[in-house]
Amino acid sequence: MASSTSSRWSLLASLIKNFKKALTDIGWDKYYHAKLKKHCLFFEGKTDVLNLEAIARKLKHPVTGKIEEANTNLVDGNLPGDAFIKFNAIKSIEPDLKGLCIFDKLNRNTNTDDPIPVLQWKKRELENYFCNNIVLKRWAFSKSNTLETSINNYINIMDKCIQDLTPPIYLNNPNDEWWNNEKPGDWAETIFREFSLRTHQPIVKRKGNFHELVDFIKLNEIDPEIKEKLDAILNS
C-alpha cells in the first residue's frame, strides 16, 4: 500500500513539474489556447499570419477566418528547435496536441524525428509570392482617385520609384531568381518610402500592412504552393 501511494505521489509530482515547465516555456495564455484549440501553429512573425489570412480570404479557402483565431505562436528567426521546445512542453501535459510549423525558406530537409511537421516556402518568404512591381503599380492605380493628382501622374511616380530603386536586370526579367531569393518585403518598403517622399505624404505602406496588397493580385497569379500551405493549416 505504501509503495502504491508513493508511486501516485511521484506521478502527481511529475505532472505538476511538467505543468510548471509548460507555463514557464510558453506562458499561461498560450497554454490555455493550446488546451482549448488542441493545436499549435508556429510562424516566424505576425505578418505571415496576416498575409496568409488575406490570401485565404482572396481564394475563399475553407480556412478563411480561422488562422487569426487559431493558437498561433511566433518564433523569431524561423528556428524549428524553438518551436519544438514550446510544443513539447505543452504536449507533455496535453498528449493529444497537434502542431504545424510554416517558416521561411530554411534549406532544411524533412526530418522524420521532428515532433511536428515543418513546412517551408520554396521561395525565400511569403512576400515573394505577391510583392512585385506589377502589384505595386496596381496599388498606385487604385489610390490615384483618392489624391489630388491625375491617374497617369500617380502611376508614373510609382513606376519611376521602381525603376530608380530596382536593378534593370531583375526588373526586365520577372523570372529572374532575384524575385525568389531576395527579401521583397524590404525592397517594397524602400519603394513605398521613396514614393511617399515624392508625393509629399506620410509613408503609405510598411511590411506590417503588406497583407493589403493581396487585394491587387489576381486569382490566377496565386501560386498553388500557397493553397497547399492553407490546406495543411486546415487539416492541422
Tell me how far apart the alpha carbons of residues 233 and 86 are, in angstroms, rounded to a whole number. 18
The pTM score is 0.85
Tell me how far apart the alpha carbons of residues 83 and 85 are, in angstroms, rounded to a whole number. 5
What share of the chain has pLDDT > 70, as a percent? 86
112 residue type, one letter? T
The full set of domain ranges for the chain reads 2-124+225-234, 131-216
State the SS3 of 52-93.
HHHHHHHHCCCCCCCCCCCCEEECCCCCHHHHHHHHHHHHCC
Establish how many alpha carbons lie within 13 A of residue 199's alpha carbon, considering only the half-sphere containing its beta carbon. 27
Q: Hey, is 185 helix, strand or coil?
A: helix
Instruction: Name the residue with cell 507533455.
Output: 92
Reported as a single tens digit per residue, the pLDDT across 27-81 is 677 777 777 888 899 999 999 999 999 999 999 999 998 888 888 889 988 889 9
Which distant-in-sequence residues (6+ apart) come within 8 Å of 201 by Cβ?
147
